[in-house]
């Protein structure tokens, strides 16, 4: 029996494809108006606008963003958030277990 091939893994360095940005709404309407009025292509505004160059993400930028986030997230905020989430999940699990037991008794 042959073992299944491992699925390909994504490289952490792989960047997502840049998203095309849309031009301002006024430019879009200007292009539509020019097309409706049969304006020659040389006079019509260019639409959609060319996408700007994607930002360059460096290790230094990642470190700076991480540092800023950690400065803003206090230990108390993390504890409060975790305790709220844990309490909600625990309550849901207890309710589900009670419902399961009730349904097995019937």
Q: Domain map of the chain by residue range?
A: 21-53, 55-106
**pLDDT value at residue 72:** 81
Q: Is the pLDDT of residue 4 over 90?
A: no
Report the C-alpha gap between 8 and 20 in whole angstroms.
Answer: 27
Per the prediction, the chain carries an average pLDDT of 76
Q: Is the pLDDT of residue 1 over 50?
A: no
Residue 67 sits at φ, ψ, to 5 deg, of -60, -45
11-20, 50-59, 71-80: segment of lowest average pLDDT: 11-20
Query: Has this prediction a pTM greater than 0.85?
Result: no
pLDDT band at 94 (very low <50, low <70, confident <90, very high): very high
SS (H, E, C) 12-80: CCCCCCCCCCCCCHHHHHHHHHHHHCCCCCCCCCCCCCCCCCCCCCCHHHHHHHHHHHHHHCCHHHHHH
């Amino acid at each position: 029996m042959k073992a299944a091939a491992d699925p390909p893994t994504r490289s952490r360095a792989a960047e997502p494809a840049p998203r095309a940005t849309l031009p301002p709404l006024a430019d879009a309407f200007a292009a539509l108006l020019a097309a409706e009025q049969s304006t020659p292509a040389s006079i019509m505004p260019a639409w959609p606008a060319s996408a700007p160059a994607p930002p360059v993400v460096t290790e230094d930028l990642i470190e700076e963003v991480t540092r800023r986030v950690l400065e803003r997230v206090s230990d108390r905020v993390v504890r409060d958030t975790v305790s709220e989430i844990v309490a909600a999940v625990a309550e849901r699990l207890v309710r589900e277990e009670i419902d399961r037991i009730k349904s097995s008794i019937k």
